[in-house]
Structure 1
Amino acid sequence: MDMLKTLQALNACHGPSGDEGDVAALLEKLAMPYVDECRRDTMGNLIAHRKGGGSRVMFAAHMDSIGCIVTHIEKEGYLRFCKVGGLHAAELLSTPVRFKNGVRGVVCLNESVEAKSMTLDDLYLDIGAHDADEARAMVQIGDTAVFDTAVFAAGDRLISPYLDNRASCLAMLMAMEQLQESENDLYFVFTAQEELGLRGAKTAAYAIDPDYGVAVDVTPAADALGSKHSGSSVLGGGAAIKVMDSSVICHPQMVSRLESLAEERGIPAQRDVIRSGGTDAGSIYLSRMGVLTGGISIPCRYIHAPQELVDRGDIEAAARLITAFAECRL
């Protein structure tokens, strides 16, 4: 599977939280050759099922992205917006955006406000409209926009919007492609609305009722310039085995099993502890009477910025570790 081309295809889809249908349609097409069935539930989760008679294992990688939603149209045709997920004003200025219908624009700042003191309320979208009537003919209140930035390779690194969490969707697809024999009943779930509070994983886990759960996500890299080491993982260090984040303390049995599998199969791996931020593991492990839950993460720089950065080798390592867990006897 070509990483760059797959990421480019995924990011060409419109998929902010709550409107993931286009991304789900592409993922279903890519996943179907490797599973017995695919279905979508009421929340919009895509559930790819490879049937087996053994333990039920749920892998979850969220397919939604952050974005912005139009709240008001100024008489001059400018668009006011609020966030869908974790947007930060300091990272948005001059960022190109794209609406689902193809309308494009750019994030701008009120001239009366200094950049150093700006908030999201000081920003607006300019879509080139001459006035409010023209703007309303182009977009409506409640329409959502996503980053319209490039996807490209820089050596063995990939730079792209929404590597959180399309990189993990890619890793899950690669694992499905690699998977050989397995006794387990496998559910590869591409979840919806993770960025708004791990919502999709909650309903999917309840429906599947897994014996084991593994959240696949990115994790903040601790090797950016001036890092305050709020995380423990570095780019190029391999798959990051989740120990703790603000949503979950992973079960020691899961941490141990994932570390053992990495050692047995020669998969580069490191431990993942972050001070803030959560993953779908936070919903899975609380489902019903509790689920043995762990996490496999991909270190990522500049999370939630218009351009994020990951290492190809870490995606490959994450895919191999997903495959190893799917194949092992539980």
Structure 2
Amino acid sequence: MELIKKLTSAFGPSGSEEDVANIIIEEIKDYADDIKRDNLGNVIAVKKGNGKGKIMYASHMDQIGILLLEIEKNGLLRFATVGVVNPLSLLNQVVIFRNGVCGRIMVENMSENKNVKIKDMFIDIGESDYEKASQKVSIGSFGVIKSDFIVNENRIITGALDNRIGCFALIESLKRLKGNECDAYFVFTVHEETYLSGAAVSAYAVEPDMAVAVDVTFSGDSLEGIRTVVKLGEGTCITIMDDGLISHPDVKNYLIDTAKKYGIKYQFDIAKGATDGSVIHTTRAGIKTAAVSIPLRYMHTSYEIVDMKDVENTIELLLKAAIDYKK
């Protein structure tokens, strides 16, 4: 739990993933045969085998954030979102900037505003004018939504589980991996919430025979209105199709067969949204790619929820798939 808390607490909106990368590198340095950071900031670690093919797992390090656009005369801040966010989920939340300055997100004429839009929202950091506010923050500053870390038996409730929990799954899989004959690449990508560029360049560099994007997916067992059969606690999710990828049948079937072989609990996912897999599979001459996801409630909010049983099933699937894979 401590590692998950450390990962989810780290500051890391798209384009500012350095803190997360440093935590990951420190955590895996004694388990990987080689670790490097590429020009965009991706962390690429490899556990070498006997040269019988290359498998690549990819999880993104970045989280949803905000970008400061304007400081008004009255000291209030206007902002844009970094990644896709429902404006309603931001209302009354606390933003924390990298330098530790905090502010509350509000909306103009709240009692009358029935259609909340980002352009009508502002951040109040408690200053009375432009001069005082500009001494604390500047245009172009990045921030994230502040959250608590709550453990409720098997379930974790906090922000940035999208996708620090996927990063955790890769870290644990790498730590436990022994006896693999393929070269197993564990890639922690940047910019997934914005441009997917991290996955594109890292896949180009690794050029694996098979790739799996490891992320989170919407759970349909709450009242937030997400229509999916995916449920918390019912196992890892093997994606059939999402908005950016139809999982390659060879990879999808290999994951299903592996799960059945080792008694790993799984469920199928036909997902809204996309993962790093949407660009990995079109890299170079094409890479056989699928996605594996951890069910999550309230995505892109400060209080996302995952079940650790699903996380453990995801780790086991990735681990066994890497051990058994041969080209």
TM-score, normalized by the shorter chain, greater than 0.5? yes
Give, in angstroms, the shift of residue 318 of structure 1: 0.4
Distance (Å, rounded) in 1 between the aligned partners of 2:158 and 2:317? 23
Distance (Å, rounded) in 1 between the aligned partners of 2:142 and 2:111? 25
Structure 2 length as normaliser, TM-score? 0.96
Asked if 1:35 corresponds to 2:32, the answer is: yes
2:325 to 302, 322, 329: 329
1:236 to 230, 233, 236: 233
Give the corresponding residue for 2:102. Answer: 104
Distance (Å, rounded) in 2 between the aligned partners of 1:131 and 1:146? 23
Distance (Å, rounded) in 1 between the aligned partners of 2:9 and 2:153? 22
Secondary structure of 1:17's partner? coil
Cα pair 1:113 1:122 within 8 Å, conserved? no
Count of aligned residue pairs for this structure pair: 325
AA aligned to 2:160 is: Y
Cα pair 2:189 2:199 within 8 Å, conserved? yes
Percent identical among aligned pairs is 38
Distance (Å, rounded) in 2 between the aligned partners of 1:112 and 1:219? 32
Give the corresponding residue for 2:179. Answer: 181
Give, in angstroms, the shift of residue 226 of structure 1: 5.9
Give the corresponding residue for 2:158. Answer: 160
Cα pair 1:7 1:151 within 8 Å, conserved? no
Secondary structure of 2:16's partner? coil
**Residue deviations 1:75-103, cap 9 Å, x none?**
11111000100121111111111111111
Asked if 1:9 corresponds to 2:6, the answer is: yes
Give the corresponding residue for 1:72. Answer: 70
Cα pair 2:200 2:283 within 8 Å, conserved? yes
**Residue deviations 1:147-173, cap 9 Å, x none?**
111111122111010111011111111
Give the corresponding residue for 1:150. Answer: 148
Give the corresponding residue for 2:307. Answer: 311
RMSD: 1.3
Q: 1:196 to 1:98 in 2, by over 3 A?
A: same
**Residue deviations 1:128-165, cap 9 Å, x none?**
22211111111110001101111111221110101110
2:255 to 236, 254, 258: 258
Distance (Å, rounded) in 1 between the aligned partners of 2:63 and 2:226? 25
1:212 to 206, 210, 224: 210
Give the corresponding residue for 2:292. Answer: 296
Give, in angstroms, the shift of residue 12 of structure 1: 2.5
Give, in angstroms, the shift of residue 30 of structure 1: 0.8
Secondary structure of 2:58's partner? strand
Secondary structure of 1:194's partner? coil
Uncovered stretches (5+) of structure 2, i.e. residues with no partner: none
